[in-house]
């Protein structure tokens, strides 16, 4: 890991380190090659090395949407969310024909979901500000993926409780209908109970009252999941000018109608190109993020009841069928629906970025590893629909290490990347190096002695009964396995006996590697807002790097 100079916040300092994603488990080969700018990804990301200042000219010259109509809707939306003055200044800036957008987005997760949502928004804010310093007008826009209907992905989140353990919050409204976009799912009175339960578990701090108040003011009965999410992140980024966009807005849908019509007309070409692109990815040993089939169709249909249903092509008669339904459309019928009732069509995961970048003069999109994989596929859709291929960058990626966990790392002589080995192996290391070195040495000696004696026996067998030598090899593995299993049981027993060491280790992994993955994949921002207030957002603002291809470790 490389260490960076310390930065300051108020009267304190914190240091940073960076670590390559290649060292972090569970990263896809496509993602790590993208981060390393490997030569073989160039065909899948034609704009990877785009000079944004130059690309701005192409984006602005190709932009056709009525900016006044777009910005009027953005004004209405952000007024309803209680946005700050800087947001409206940015909307006014967007009205100008020389202004581009730095875009990011995420599903409307409970209490904003995992930390990476916050890092996405901050990445867009920082890059827009950096570009304006270089005389390129750009504003940050957060696209709420409120058309998605996978409710299981948004209904829960995790914080650290008083004891430093993971606490799961979950909220499912009692009358929730299946297959409805999260932007149409309304919270009920159980949300206040979910908030109360959360703050019963969180440690009481000087910031608890304000943090709880902020949640109660945004996540209220009657609000949709999407609106509550939008109001919450608007409060968090009130001083940073973030513009929030809600794509279910019918006025925005009408502005998108031309690109929806064209996508319907060229749907067969889109599917064909995706099938070919997936073959190209597989040829390079990359796994496509979204599978495509001959009967795929790039839209969902949203019926009058608000249900979002996949569309599939009937290969027998060429019509487009609603999955698990008898209802079918001619492609021409769907084209008219796209033109006259665009709110009835919802683009799928691969088409959505293209629609987004038609509606907005997008100069760059910040996404996570999964979205980067989407862009390896959907660059072909941009080309079919005659759109500039939007460059994608990986969002800021951070692990925040509190001082108590710094002390644990130092006490047990651990680096952050040691944690990738997993809690069991780190527990064994602590036992053998800090709790009971004598027994650890005995285990090592026993293993060495067993091997030495079996080697002596093997030499004798080779002389007299060589066929038994191979048999001995198998039995050696079993003997050593049993010794190893006993050693693991010993490690668990020793760590359980030392309550302080066990608690420190459990809290360390709960905070830094929850669910055996990076902190940002699970922990919710309220863990840190409760401890540090909105100062935490300011610290992240100072720390994030918009051109950093690695993972940042921030030691508070």
Q: Give the DSSP letter of residue 431.
A: I
Residue 505 placed within a domain: no
Q: Give the DSSP letter of residue 326.
A: S
Residue 323 placed within a domain: yes
Beta-carbon-side half-sphere exposure of residue 51 (alpha carbons within 13 Å): 4
- Contact criterion met (CB below 8 Å) for 320 and 297: yes
- pLDDT at position 397 is 95
- Contact criterion met (CB below 8 Å) for 71 and 96: no
- Say whether both 257 and 376 belong to one domain: no
- Say whether both 223 and 201 belong to one domain: yes
- pLDDT at position 491 is 63
Could you say which of 299, 329, 354 is where a domain stops?
A: 354
Whether the predicted pLDDT of 8 surpasses 60: no
Whether the predicted pLDDT of 6 surpasses 80: no
Strands (E) in 178-303, as ranges, are 243-245, 299-302
Whether the predicted pLDDT of 135 surpasses 60: yes
Give the whole-angstrom CA distance, residue 489 versus residue 437: 16
Count the domains in the chain.
3
- pLDDT at position 297 is 94
Residue 418 placed within a domain: no
| Top-confidence residue, 8 or 405 | 405
- Say whether both 187 and 242 belong to one domain: yes
pLDDT level of residue 25 (50, 70, 90 thresholds): very high
Average pLDDT of span 475-494: 76
Residue 413 placed within a domain: no
- Say whether both 29 and 86 belong to one domain: yes
| The two structure tokens encoding residue 452 | 């030495």
- Say whether both 348 and 361 belong to one domain: no
Q: Which of 122-136, 194-208, 410-424, 490-504 has the lowest mean pLDDT?
A: 490-504
Burial label for 481, CB within 10 Å (0-12, 13-18, 19+), is exposed
- pLDDT at position 152 is 86
Residue 501 placed within a domain: no
- Contact criterion met (CB below 8 Å) for 170 and 156: yes
Whether the predicted pLDDT of 460 surpasses 70: yes
Residues of the chain with pLDDT > 70, as a percent, come to: 95
Distance from chain centroid for Cα 76:
28
| Top-confidence residue, 237 or 457 | 237
Whether the predicted pLDDT of 26 surpasses 80: yes
Please spell the DSSP secondary structure of 445-512, one letter per residue. HHHHHHHHHHHHHHHHHHHH-THHHHHHHHHHHHHHHHHHHHHHHHHHHHHHH-HHHHHHHHHHHHHH
Whether the predicted pLDDT of 4 surpasses 60: no
Distance from chain centroid for Cα 352:
17
Beta-carbon-side half-sphere exposure of residue 267 (alpha carbons within 13 Å): 26
- Say whether both 263 and 246 belong to one domain: no
Which alpha helices (H) appear in 28-143, and where do they start and end? 29-35, 52-62, 67-81, 85-94, 116-133
| The two structure tokens encoding residue 152 | 């299981």
Average pLDDT of span 15-22: 91
- pLDDT at position 13 is 55
What pLDDT, in 10s, does the model give residues 319-359?
Answer: 999 987 888 999 999 999 999 999 999 999 999 999 999 99
Residue 510 placed within a domain: no
Whether the predicted pLDDT of 10 surpasses 60: no
What pLDDT, in 10s, does the model give residues 210-242?
Answer: 999 999 999 999 999 999 999 999 999 999 999
- Say whether both 226 and 204 belong to one domain: yes
What pLDDT, in 10s, does the model give residues 290-308?
Answer: 888 999 999 999 888 888 8
What pLDDT, in 10s, does the model give residues 53-109?
Answer: 889 999 999 999 999 999 999 999 999 999 999 999 999 999 999 999 999 999 999
Residue 139 placed within a domain: yes
- Say whether both 342 and 361 belong to one domain: no
- Say whether both 294 and 150 belong to one domain: no
**What is the pTM (predicted TM-score) of this model?**
0.89
Q: Which of 17-31, 109-123, 172-186, 250-264 has the lowest mean pLDDT?
A: 172-186
- Say whether both 208 and 314 belong to one domain: no
- Say whether both 143 and 15 belong to one domain: yes
Nearest to 117 by CA among 101, 126, 104: 104
Domain hosting residue 313, numbered range? 253-354
Average pLDDT, the chain: 90
Residue 10 placed within a domain: yes
Greatest Cα pair distance in the chain: 93
- Say whether both 209 and 238 belong to one domain: yes
Give the whole-angstrom CA distance, residue 511 versus residue 160: 7
């Amino acid at each position: 890991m490389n260490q960076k100079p310390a930065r300051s916040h108020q009267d304190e300092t914190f240091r940073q380190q960076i670590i390559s994603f290649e060292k972090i488990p569970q990263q896809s080969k496509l993602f790590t090659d993208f981060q390393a700018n490997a030569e073989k990804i160039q065909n899948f990301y034609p704009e990877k090395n785009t000079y944004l200042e130059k690309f701005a000219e192409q984006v602005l010259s190709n932009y056709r949407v009525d900016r006044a109509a777009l910005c009027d809707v953005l004004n209405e939306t952000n007024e309803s969310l209680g946005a700050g003055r800087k947001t409206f200044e940015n909307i006014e800036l967007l009205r100008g024909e020389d202004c581009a957008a730095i875009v990011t987005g995420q599903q409307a997760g409970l209490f904003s979901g995992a930390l990476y949502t916050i890092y996405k928004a901050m990445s867009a804010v920082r890059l827009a500000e950096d570009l304006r310093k270089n005389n390129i007008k750009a504003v940050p826009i957060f696209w709420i993926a409120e058309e998605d209907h996978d409710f299981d992905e948004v209904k829960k989140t995790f914080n650290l409780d008083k004891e430093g353990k993971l606490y799961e919050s979950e909220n499912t409204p009692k009358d929730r209908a299946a297959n409805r976009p999260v932007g149409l799912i309304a919270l009920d009175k159980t949300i206040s109970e979910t908030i109360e339960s959360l703050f019963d578990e969180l440690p009481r701090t000087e910031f608890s009252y304000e943090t709880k108040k902020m949640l109660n003011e945004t996540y209220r009965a009657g609000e949709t999941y999407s609106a509550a999410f939008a109001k919450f992140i608007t409060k968090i980024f009130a001083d940073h000018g973030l513009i929030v966009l809600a794509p279910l807005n019918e006025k925005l849908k009408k502005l998108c109608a031309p690109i929806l019509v064209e996508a319907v007309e060229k749907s067969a070409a889109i599917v064909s190109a995706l099938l070919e692109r997936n073959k190209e990815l597989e040829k390079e040993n990359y796994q496509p993020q979204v599978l495509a089939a001959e009967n795929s169709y790039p839209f969902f249909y949203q019926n009058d009841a608000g249900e979002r249903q996949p569309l599939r092509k009937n290969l027998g008669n060429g019509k487009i069928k609603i999955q698990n339904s008898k209802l079918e459309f001619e492609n021409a019928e769907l084209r008219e629906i796209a033109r006259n009732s665009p709110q009835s069509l919802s683009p799928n995961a691969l088409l959505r970025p293209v629609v987004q970048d038609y509606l907005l003069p997008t100069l760059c999109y910040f996404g996570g590893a999964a979205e980067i994989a989407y862009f390896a596929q959907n660059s072909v859709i941009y080309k079919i629909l005659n759109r500039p291929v939007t460059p994608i960058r990986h969002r800021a990626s951070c692990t925040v290490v509190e001082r108590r966990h710094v002390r644990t790392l130092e006490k047990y002589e651990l680096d952050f990347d040691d944690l990738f080995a997993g809690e069991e192996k780190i527990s064994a290391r602590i036992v053998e190096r800090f709790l009971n070195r004598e027994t650890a040495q005995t285990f090592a000696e026993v293993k060495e002695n067993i091997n030495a004696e079996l080697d002596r026996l093997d030499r004798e067998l080779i002389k007299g009964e060589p066929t038994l030598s191979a048999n001995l090899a198998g039995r050696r593995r079993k003997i050593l396995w049993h010794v190893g299993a006993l050693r693991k049981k010993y490690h668990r027993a020793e760590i359980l006996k030392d309550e302080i060491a066990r608690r420190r280790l459990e809290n360390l992994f709960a905070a830094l590697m929850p669910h055996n993955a990076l902190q940002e994949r699970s922990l919710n921002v309220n863990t840190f807002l409760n401890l540090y207030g909105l100062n935490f957002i300011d610290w992240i603002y100072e720390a994030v790097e918009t051109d950093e291809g690695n993972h940042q470790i921030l030691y508070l």
